[in-house]
Amino acid sequence: MQRTPEPELMEGLDQALAYAAADFSAGDQQLMERLVQLFPDGLGAAVVDLGCGPGNISFRLAERFPTAQVLGLDGAAAMLAPGLQELGRRPALQQRLRFEQRCLPDPSLPGGFTAVVSNSLLHHLHHPAVLWQAVRQLGAPGACVFIKDLRRPPTPEAALALQQRYLSDAPLVLQHDYIASLHAAFTPEEVQQQLGDAGLVDQLQVAPVDDRYLEVWGRLL
């Protein structure tokens, strides 16, 4: 099926609250295990989490890599708010974890990060080159890169089947968002083309994962 973009930023309060209340812990934990498998020597001193939302992944990064400074970036204040509240309750992390409201592309963001991580941002972007440009802008030479996202199913019926398999008990707003996200996601072939256009094809590789995801990983030159 053709891609149908969805709104980039998740600015709706009901949407943000439902997202923050949902339990994504199994998938988030899988992502962390995959990161450790891909980069057994760690992620270095400075990690950025693009499109961090309420910080599900940012908190885990800060906990799993206790010598790293972690920066979570998101363009939507409503999505960042629960993460900022949670950080207020976690004084032990406050020296190493920060959140900033930034909308990509943002040429004022500094480079030099030793790792660039992103979960479920790519499918939100109307222009996917924005993500690959941000990876190049923010990552230091040798930086670890790990991007995970949904991949677009072949038909609307396949999208509906995934929603019914994985989100049938979720609040309606999340069910609606999930279908929209599956329709907005890219295929591995499209991402391969994006990497080629961004001059990253010799540094990053893409592969389908499970029945609904894709991953992009590698190191910048």
Ligand X SMILES: C[S@@+](CC[C@H](N)C(=O)[O-])C[C@H]1O[C@@H](n2cnc3c(N)ncnc32)[C@H](O)[C@@H]1O
Q: Which residues bind ligand X (CB under 6 A)?
A: 8-10, 24, 51-53, 56-57, 74-76, 79, 103-104, 119-121, 124-125
> Which residue, 125 or 143, is less far from ligand X as judged by CB?
125
Q: Which is nearer to ligand X, 31 or 195 (CB)?
A: 31
Candidates 216, 37, 87, 62; CA nearest to 139 is 216
Is the CA virtual torsion 117, 123, 124, 127 positive or negative? positive
Least Å from the CB of residue 33 to ligand X:
15
Question: Minimum Å distance from CB 15 to ligand X?
Answer: 9
Residues 6 or more apart whose Cβ sits within 8 Å of residue 128: 122, 186, 190, 191, 194
Residue placing its CB nearer to ligand X in the complex, 114 or 120: 120
Instruction: Please give the residue whose beta carbon sits closest to ligand X in the complex.
Output: 53
- How many CA atoms within 13 Å lie on the side-chain side of 198? 24
Complex with ligand X: residue 90 or 126, whichever CB lies closer: 126
- Among candidate residues 143, 127, 181, the one with its CA nearest the CA of residue 159: 181
CB of 211 to ligand X, least distance (A): 18
CB of residue 24 to ligand X, shortest distance in Å:
6
Q: Which of 68, 73, 75 lies closest to 95, judged by CA?
A: 68
